[in-house]
């Protein structure tokens, strides 16, 4: 990557981060809090083993939902349904564990991953199918499918799968053979204490593999080529023998599947059960992640890390301050999104003002 | 150089690079006030670039622009507009859902809160009558023909009191009648001391319209001459930099077996009857021209033949098979090649690289893919071959296609569709926006395809092209074939009559 490319790809996002940090600081000051806690939260999320562990734990699902949205964007489609798809994915794992509790781990783990991908994917496929066959707009369909999907999974949590021994709205624990090891188990094997007591687990690697696979799929396969052509101009695609319907269905299946994998991180990697409201809107944050990464699957990794750290940093701030709650992250994320969505405009305006200033 | 006292603006040693590509190299020429100035040259010769520099869309790397005798820096189009410079782009910049007058004031609304429609309409009516524009100011732009949309663009510039009008390929999409009416307006504007710069490939237009002509070649302005000193042959030679080689006709044997047959194709939609019982047969080894003014059903016919539209009556037989049983992709694999009428909406993806565009529609073929995988190196090799054989400029396979001039984009499409086993070629406006050198090359290539046994249906609104290449000519008018004539018996005037009236008016 040349210097020009670096500038083009990173100048906007970096400026957006700095400006939104500045605005968040101003809000903290106006609430009578020292902006230093923002810095403190930042250093702790990146430079302590505990903070980094949590940051990566939040990053993992955001990579997956970011990819889910980005993949659809490449085909010119808007998947707002990742939230519902990831709920279905998580429920799929729990169901698989209840159906086959006796499986050995080497079958249970692949089954869990495949089931979460399939159940998320099938939920996504509905939107693709309706668009292909009936022309229903995918935005409306995925929004509505979110309501249905989340409500359905909550029903499963509260009734058929409910752990009646506890009062919390959660399911029974899945069988041990489905458990994925936390990263601390790996680091501990080498005698290190890094990531101890944090929930980050090997699903992180799965999400990284997914990102690389998405990149490869989009840019090195004929199918990826077809999807990108379709996303750029459906009419050109049609004139050149790229059929609309099967590609629409396929891309929504894959997108849904990627979102469904979030269940692996949550259920197999950390809580080992399904808890109502387990997702702090990973599906919707995924839209922001994809936007920030400009739909580059590899860029999604970095963008997810950023949003993961903001998410984690907000928890930290809540802990450090008596006045501020973790919802401050929403403020910062919102500024980031506005600045990134309009960064071309802001940058050119900035450059123009700068030029005019220097000319006078 | 023309007499300096009349000079309105001039380019002095202007150089503009895009990365490693030199688009303009020390371009120097002047334009006089109150003249029509033609800029000609091959695709990618730097004509559009130099005009975009004048309009402030690009800033030159070096050199100066002199405007009314003093050096001026035009850093953006707003500055250009304030100096009275206006540009009509190849692709119009209009909002389809707004009316004509709304489009015209867009970006120059009189004030933020009030809109004195009466005053605006008054001023527009005045301009309309003085230059004879046939436009309904209250009509929505989406309902207008291409020619009318162009009139809106010109009216917009006049409303903004532009004194210098730059027109980039203004006649590429116009019918002959629209072209005539445009030229009348331009001549009238010249009388009113407006200065007009026209970029075009059409030699006849340059000769009949302009006062001066600047010839560009490979980024350089070779010379600026008074148009009177030129004729079609000398101008063509100046543009391509050598003598023009006439088409050498390739011998064809007797008419071979049919490759494509249309039988009683009719198409009716809510807009009425678009195609009316169209029948014809095209044999291997012949070129059939389909002449007609655009909008007489050619688009629909092409979509039906190319298998992207299936809501018609009648039947098509391609190589004695019903194309409906194939997917569009498989049809192409059977040797059906298509140069689509609308490049940007049907032929290419502008944001894709040249390499990616050169496999569009053939991306699953063995020579670029292996199972589900696309081979980057093989795609690149293929692209490099196409670019080399059709002299596409610039020749960097990794550039986005949008970096190329329209003509070079078209060359890549023609290269892609004809550099493969072709049994039938449906070529719609194959040389639109292409310079004469490349046009000759493509025409020669078509004759070669014909000699190799391909059948070609050439859809064009350019009678010159039809007459030059076709063995047989069909004329389409209001969705029906109104005439069929052998090449030897066809005359331009007779064809023109069929095209415009369906032959109902007898000469």
pLDDT (mean) for A183-208 = 91
What per-residue confidence (pLDDT) applies to A31? Answer: 87
**Whether the Cβ atoms of residue B194 and residue B209 lie closer than 8 Å to each other:** no
Supply the DSSP string of B401-438, one letter for each residue.
Answer: GGGS-HHHHHHHHHHHHHSS--SEEEEESTTTT--HHH
Higher pLDDT: A344 or B103? It is: B103
**SS3 (DSSP) at B64:** strand
Q: Helix, strand, coil: what percent of chain A each, to 5?
A: 75, 0, 20
How far apart CA A264 and CA A174 sit, in angstroms, is 12
CB contact under 8 A, B328 and A229: no
User: What ipTM score was computed for the predicted complex, to two decimals?
Assistant: 0.85
**Residue A5 pLDDT:** 63
Q: What is the mean pLDDT of residues A318-322?
A: 86
| pLDDT over 90 at A279, yes or no | yes
Q: Kindly state whether A217 is in contact with chain B, defined as any CB-CB distance less than 8 angstroms.
A: no
User: Which tokens hold the place of B307?
Assistant: 């298998």
Chain B nearest-CA distance from A217, in A, is 9
Residues in a beta bridge with A130: none
| Nearest partner of A283 among A20, A94, A63, A54, judged by Cα | A63
When pLDDT is averaged across residues A257-263 and rounded to a whole number, the result is 98
Between the two ends of chain A, the Cα-to-Cα distance in Å is 35
What percent of chain A lies above the pLDDT cut of 90? 69
Residue A256, chain B, CB below 8 Å: the answer is: no
Q: Which domains does chain B have, with CATH numbers?
A: 4-239 (3.40.50.300), 258-501 (3.40.50.300)
Please give the mean pLDDT across all residues of chain A.
91
The answer to whether the CB of A241 falls within 8 A of the CB of B327 is yes
User: What's residue B4's pLDDT?
Assistant: 46
SS3 at position B363: coil
Say whether the peptide bond before residue B394 is cis (omega within 30 degrees of 0): yes
Instruction: Select the residue of A222, A235, A236 nearest B374 (Cβ to Cβ).
Output: A222
Of the candidates A222, A236, A355, the beta carbon closest to that of B364 is on: A222
C-beta separation of A223 from B372 below 8 A: yes
Query: What pLDDT is attached to residue A8?
Result: 66
Per-residue pLDDT of chain B (507 residues; tens, 9 = 90+): 444 457 899 999 999 988 778 889 999 999 999 999 999 988 878 898 999 999 999 999 999 999 998 898 898 888 898 899 999 987 788 998 999 998 998 877 766 667 778 888 898 999 998 888 888 999 998 888 888 888 899 999 999 889 999 998 888 777 777 888 899 999 999 999 999 999 988 888 899 999 999 999 888 999 999 999 998 888 888 888 888 777 776 666 566 789 999 999 999 988 889 999 999 999 999 999 999 887 889 999 999 999 999 899 999 999 988 888 888 899 999 999 999 988 888 999 999 999 999 999 999 988 899 889 999 999 999 999 999 999 898 889 999 998 888 888 999 999 999 998 999 999 999 988 788 888 888 999 999 999 989 999 999 878 888 999 999 999 999 899 999 999 888 888 888 888 877 765 443
Question: Would you state the pLDDT for residue B499?
Answer: 84
Mean pLDDT score, A255-274: 96
Cα(A126)–Cα(A249) distance, integer angstroms: 8
Q: CB contacts < 8 Å between A and B, how many?
A: 65
| Residues B427, B454 contacting (CB under 8 angstroms) | no
pLDDT (0 to 100) of residue A94: 96
Contact A120, A86 (CB under 8 A): yes
**DSSP 3-state of B259:** strand
Interface of B with A (CB under 8 A): 75, 306, 308, 327-332, 338, 340, 344-352, 356, 359-361, 363-364, 369, 372-374, 376
SS3 A180: coil
Residues of B in contact with A224 (CB under 8 A): 374
Task: Let me know: does A232 contact A295? Beta carbons within 8 Å.
Answer: no
Q: Quick one: which H or E segment has residue A353?
A: helix A343-359
CA A47, A52, A57 angle in degrees (round to 5)?
Answer: 170
* A-chain residue closest to B305, CA distance: A239
Spatial separation of the C-alpha atoms in residues B206 and B37, rounded to whole Å: 9
Of residues A203 and A196, the one with the higher pLDDT is A203
Q: How deeply is A234 buried, as exposed, middle or buried, from its count of CB atoms within 10 A (0-12, 13-18, 19+)?
A: middle
Can you give the pLDDT at residue B212? 95
**How far, in Å, CA of B181 to CA of B461, rounded?**
17
Strand, coil or helix: what is A194?
Answer: coil
Q: What pLDDT sits at residue B92?
A: 82
pLDDT of the residue at B348? 95
Say what the pTM is.
0.84
Of how many residues is chain A composed? 360
Interface test with B, best of A217, A222, A230, A254 (most B CBs within 10 A): A222
- CA–CA separation, A70 vs A63, rounded Å? 10
């Amino acid at each position: 990557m040349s210097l020009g490319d670096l500038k083009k790809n990173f100048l906007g996002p970096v400026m957006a981060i700095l400006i939104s940090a500045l605005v968040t600081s101003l809000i903290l000051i106006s609430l009578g809090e020292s902006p230093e806690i923002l810095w403190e939260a930042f250093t702790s999320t990146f430079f302590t083993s505990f903070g980094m562990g949590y940051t990566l734990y939040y990053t993992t699902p955001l990579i997956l939902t970011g990819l889910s949205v980005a993949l659809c964007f490449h085909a010119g489609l808007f998947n707002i349904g990742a939230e519902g798809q990831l709920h279905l994915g998580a429920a799929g794992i729990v169901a698989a564990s209840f159906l086959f509790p006796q499986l050995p781990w080497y079958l249970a783990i692949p089954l869990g991953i495949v089931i979460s991908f399939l159940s998320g994917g099938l939920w996504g496929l509905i939107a693709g199918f309706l668009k292909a066959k009936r022309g229903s707009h995918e935005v409306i369909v995925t929004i509505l499918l979110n309501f249905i999907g989340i409500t359905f999974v909550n029903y499963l949590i509260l009734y058929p799968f409910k752990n009646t021994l506890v009062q919390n709205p959660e399911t029974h624990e899945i069988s041990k053979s489905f458990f994925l090891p936390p990263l601390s188990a790996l680091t501990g094997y080498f005698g290190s204490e890094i990531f101890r007591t944090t929930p980050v687990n090997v699903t992180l690697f799965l999400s990284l593999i997914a990102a690389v696979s998405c990149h490869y799929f989009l840019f090195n396969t004929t199918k990826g080529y077809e999807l990108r052509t379709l996303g750029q101009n459906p009419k050109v695609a049609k004139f050149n023998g790229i059929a609309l319907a099967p590609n629409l269905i396929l891309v929504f299946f894959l997108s849904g599947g990627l979102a469904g994998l979030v269940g692996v991180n949550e259920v197999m990697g950390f809580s080992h059960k399904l808890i109502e409201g387990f997702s702090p809107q990973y599906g919707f944050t995924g839209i922001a992640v994809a936007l920030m990464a400009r739909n580059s699957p590899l860029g999604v990794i970095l963008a997810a890390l950023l949003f993961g750290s903001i998410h984690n940093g907000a928890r930290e701030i809540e802990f450090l301050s008596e006045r501020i709650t973790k919802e401050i992250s929403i403020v910062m994320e919102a500024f980031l999104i506005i600045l990134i969505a309009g960064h071309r405009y802001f940058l050119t305006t900035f450059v123009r003002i700068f030029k005019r200033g220097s000319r006078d | 150089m023309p007499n300096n006292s009349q000079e309105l603006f001039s380019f002095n040693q202007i150089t503009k690079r895009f990365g490693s590509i030199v688009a303009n190299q020390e371009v120097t020429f002047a334009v006089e006030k109150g003249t029509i100035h033609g800029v000609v040259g091959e695709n990618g010769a730097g004509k559009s670039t130099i005009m975009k520099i004048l309009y402030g869309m690009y800033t030159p790397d070096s050199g100066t622009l002199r405007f009314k005798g003093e050096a001026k820096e035009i850093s953006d189009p707003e500055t250009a507009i304030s100096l009275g410079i206006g540009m009509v782009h190849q692709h119009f910049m209009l909002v389809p859902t707004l009316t004509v007058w709304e489009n015209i004031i867009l970006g120059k609304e009189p004030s933020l809160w009030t809109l004195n429609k009466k005053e605006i309409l008054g001023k527009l009516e005045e301009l309309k009558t003085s230059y004879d524009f046939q436009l309904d100011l209250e009509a929505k732009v989406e309902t207008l023909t291409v020619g009318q949309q162009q009139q809106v663009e010109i009216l917009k510039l006049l409303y903004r009191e532009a004194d210098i009008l730059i027109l980039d390929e203004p006649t590429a999409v116009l019918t002959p009648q629209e072209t005539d009416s445009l030229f009348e307006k331009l001549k009238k504007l010249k009388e009113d001391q407006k200065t007009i710069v026209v970029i075009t490939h059409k030699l006849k237009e340059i000769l009949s319209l302009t006062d001066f002509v600047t010839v560009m070649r490979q980024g350089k302005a070779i010379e600026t001459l008074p148009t009177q000193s030129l004729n079609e042959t000398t101008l063509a030679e100046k543009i391509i930099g050598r003598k023009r080689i006439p088409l050498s006709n390739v011998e064809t044997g007797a008419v071979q077996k049919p490759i494509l047959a249309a039988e009683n194709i009719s198409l009716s939609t809510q807009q009425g009857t678009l195609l009316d019982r169209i029948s014809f047969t095209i044999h291997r080894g012949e070129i059939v021209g389909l002449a007609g003014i655009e909008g007489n059903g050619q688009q629909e016919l092409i979509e039906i033949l190319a298998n992207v539209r299936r809501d018609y009556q009648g039947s098509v037989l391609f190589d004695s098979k019903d194309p409906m049983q194939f997917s569009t992709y498989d049809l192409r694999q059977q040797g059906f090649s298509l140069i689509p009428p609308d490049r940007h909406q049907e032929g290419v993806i502008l944001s894709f690289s040249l390499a990616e565009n050169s496999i569009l529609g053939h991306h699953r073929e063995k020579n670029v893919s292996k199972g589900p995988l696309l081979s980057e190196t093989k795609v690149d090799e293929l692209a490099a071959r196409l670019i080399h054989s059709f002299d596409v400029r610039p020749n960097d396979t990794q550039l986005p296609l949008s970096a190329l001039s329209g003509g070079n984009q078209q060359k890549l499409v023609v290269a892609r569709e004809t550099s493969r086993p072709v049994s039938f070629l449906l070529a719609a406006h194959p040389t639109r926006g292409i310079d004469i050198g490349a046009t000759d090359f493509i025409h020669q290539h078509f004759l070669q395809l014909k000699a190799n046994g391909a059948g070609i249906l050439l859809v064009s609104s350019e009678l010159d092209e039809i007459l030059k290449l076709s063995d047989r000519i069909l004329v389409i008018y209001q969705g029906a074939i109104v005439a069929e004539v052998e090449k030897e018996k066809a005359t331009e005037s007779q064809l023109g009559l069929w095209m415009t009236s369906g032959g109902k008016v007898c000469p």
